[in-house]
């Protein structure tokens, strides 16, 4: 894959052809940094980089930028998630200058979940940009050293540019085209929504591969272990753009109550193994939501440890 410059360790590993694994750290709803430090212990050494969510599901949390810095201080390479929901282009540019100045090198450009899902549903959504126009803006600053209006900037922000894609949103025939737009805009890697409907993911991936998009952009398949029947049901019914087949819910239900967590991990490991075999998949994005303590176990069972070293 072509790249004019190398910005992050995650990018280095992908360029080397390693099957990468990124983790995820959801910041707390408050100022307690020890919550982040605790998650750090579970993630460190088990994954290659860690996404920090930006007020996920529109709930106001410890800022992604601040949390990324805590991760960095603890020796984890962060992936800063940046949404367009809460900031106009002035605020985004400012935050990105800040992130780059602090040494954050991976950036995930997102539109963001609608504010109605969060803890301030009456808030005014911003959406000055969307994920694609955000990518275009970042690329212009990084590669040309210019803002959207063409002004020169003092110091180009340095980012390996990523985005998310949801193979389970509709219309299916347009989803890979939207990924193509993101790539044209400057996206270098993409992490998908949590995959439970593997046949649908494969259908999407086939279109991606047929269009040669996997050769222009690294595709990381998103997985989230199901902790309980309740969580599976919640994912199926309350998370926008998610498909959870009933078979998983049934499988969890069928397991004895004290073995359900184990069963959830087993399902996750099977998914990772199956996704790994899909043509065009360059890695896994493991989102162990409020279950970071199981990351080591999942990674070990999936035979993805130890993680490769970056020279």
Partner 1 sequence: MIHTSKKPIEELVTALEGIDKVFIVACGGCPVGAETGTESEINGLSQSLKEKGKTVTGKISIDFLCNKILTGTRLSRVQENLKGIQAVVVSACGIGVQATAKLLDVPVIPALNTISLGGLQGLYPASEKCGECGDCVLHLTAGICPIAGCAKHLLNGPCGGSQKGMCEVDPQNRECAWDKIVKRSIELGRLHILERPISAKNWQLPRLDTREY
Rounded (5°) CA angle 110-57-304 = 70
Q: Which of 33, 146, 178, 233 binds partner 1 (CB under 8 A)?
A: 178
Q: For residues 111 and 128, what is the distance between their CA atoms, to the nearest angstrom?
A: 10
Q: Burial code of 22-38, b = ≥16 C-beta within 10 A, e = fewer? A: bbbbbbeeeeeeebbee
Q: Burial code of 49-71, b = ≥16 C-beta within 10 A, e = fewer? A: bbbbbbbbbbbebbebbebbbbb
Q: Is 285 in the site for partner 1 (CB under 8 A)?
A: no
Which span (13-21, 162-170, 253-261, 303-311) binds partner 1, by CB under 8 A?
162-170
Q: Which of 89, 146, 202, 307 binds partner 1 (CB under 8 A)?
A: 89
Q: Which of 19, 97, 127, 234 binds partner 1 (CB under 8 A)?
A: 127
What is the per-residue binding string for partner 1 in 220-259, x denoting contact by CB under 8 A?
Answer: --------------------xx------------------
Helices marked H in the chain: 9-15, 33-43, 64-73, 89-101, 131-139, 172-185, 198-210, 229-238, 246-254, 260-276, 295-301
CB of 127 to partner 1, least distance (A): 5
Provide Rg for the chain, Cα atoms: 19
Q: Is 174 in the site for partner 1 (CB under 8 A)?
A: yes
Q: Which of 22, 46, 100, 193 binds partner 1 (CB under 8 A)?
A: 193
CB of 217 to partner 1, least distance (A): 14
Contacts with partner 1 by CB under 8 A lie at 85, 89, 111-114, 116-117, 125, 127-133, 135-137, 148, 164-166, 168-171, 173-174, 177-178, 180-182, 184-185, 193, 240-241
């Amino acid at each position: 894959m072509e790249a004019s410059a190398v910005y992050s360790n995650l990018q280095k590993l992908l360029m080397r052809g390693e099957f990468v694994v990124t983790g995820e750290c959801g910041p707390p709803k408050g100022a307690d940094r020890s919550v982040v430090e605790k998650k750090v212990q579970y993630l460190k050494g088990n994954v290659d980089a860690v996404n920090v969510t930006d007020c996920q599901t529109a709930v106001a949390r410890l800022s992604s930028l601040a949390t990324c810095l805590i991760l960095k201080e603890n020796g984890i390479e962060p992936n800063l998630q940046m949404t367009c929901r809460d900031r106009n282009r002035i605020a985004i540019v400012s935050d990105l200058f800040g992130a780059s100045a602090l040494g954050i090198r991976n950036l995930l450009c997102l539109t963001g979940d609608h504010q109605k899902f969060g803890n301030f549903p009456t808030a005014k959504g911003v959406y000055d940009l969307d994920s694609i126009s955000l990518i275009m803006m970042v690329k212009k600053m990084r590669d040309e050293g210019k803002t959207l209006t063409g002004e020169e900037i003092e110091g180009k922000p340095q980012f390996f540019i990523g985005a998310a894609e949801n193979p389970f949103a509709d219309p299916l025939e347009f989803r890979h085209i939207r990924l193509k737009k993101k790539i044209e805009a400057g996206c270098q890697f993409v992490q998908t929504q949590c995959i439970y409907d593997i046949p649908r993911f494969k259908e999407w991936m086939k279109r991606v591969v047929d269009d040669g998009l996997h050769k222009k952009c690294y595709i990381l398949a998103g997985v989230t272990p199901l902790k309980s029947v309740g969580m599976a049901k919640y994912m199926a019914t309350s998370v926008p753009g998610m498909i959870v087949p009933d078979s998983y819910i049934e499988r969890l239900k069928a397991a004895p109550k004290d073995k359900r967590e184990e069963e959830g991990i087993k399902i996750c490991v099977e998914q990772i193994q199956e996704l790994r075999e899909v043509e065009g998949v360059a890695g896994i994005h493991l989102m162990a939501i409020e279950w970071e303590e199981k990351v080591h176990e999942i990674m070990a069972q999936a035979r993805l440890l130890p993680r490769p070293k970056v020279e």
